[in-house]
A and B are shown apart, each in its own frame.
Chain A
Amino acid sequence: KNEVEQSPQNLTAQEGEFITINCSYSVGISALHWLQQHPGGGIVSLFMLSSGKKKHGRLIATINIQEKHSSLHITASHPRDSAVYICAVRSGNFNKFYFGSGTKLNVKP
């Protein structure tokens, strides 16, 4: 059993659509991260959450600690948002990370 489950695995959207990527986890965590991996392989950290909601530009991340669930939303999606989005959780003792398998997003113009 994977400690972190993401859905969907693949997502195709039209430019302008609202996108939601989901992440569920089964371990106790100190924080949850959303990462973006571009087609060239570079990884960028988007958010770190331990509670509530964060917003950065068109990106919104939420976490529900009781339900062990997080969502990443993209409003007004754009082709440049096409990437793999990865959910990662940090264990409660800070010493380990567990990763979801990633969601491959393709936004078509």
Chain B
Amino acid sequence: GAGVSQSPSNKVTEKGKDVELRCDPISGHTALYWYRQSLGQGLEFLIYFQGNSAPDKSGLPSDRFSAERTGGSVSTLTIQRTQQEDSAVYLCASSFSPGSNEQYFGPGTRLTVT
């Protein structure tokens, strides 16, 4: 079946604009994760959803970042008033359940803030 998909694959935006990144997890996967990888840097955990609920939002870098998940499926990560330091690849992953062996990663959205 289809894997995790993310859109857009690339996004260039001007500083100060809002952006919305989308993640479509594998059908039936209840757990969904957002990560960020800045250029030349390691992975950074942002937020995790179990169903539509995010138990802990403290991993989000600032209050300009928000995420939601509806219907236990699609998730959107919204960045308001983008800054240059927000430039990164934003990765989404899903797993059947939080304790599942494997997370399946999407291809990522490359965000460039000019």
Contact = CB atoms under 8 A, between A and B. Distances in A.
Nearest to B100: A48
Contacts of A101: 42
Given A96-B45, A96-B59, A100-B42, 20 more contacts: A31-B99, A33-B103, A35-B43, A41-B89, A42-B105, A43-B91, A43-B93, A43-B105, A44-B105, A45-B101, A45-B102, A48-B101, A86-B43, A93-B55, A93-B56, A95-B55, A97-B48, A99-B42, A99-B45, A101-B42
Contacts of A31: 99
Nearest to A102: B42
Interface of B: 33, 35, 42-45, 48, 55-56, 58-59, 89, 91, 93, 98-105, 107-108
A96 B63 CA distance: 18
Contact of B43 (A30, A88, A93, A95): A88
Contacts of B45: 96-99
B108 to A, nearest CB: 6
Given A88-B43, A94-B98, A102-B42, A41 B55 contact: no
B98 A42 contact: no
A41 B103 contact: no
A28 B105 CA distance: 25
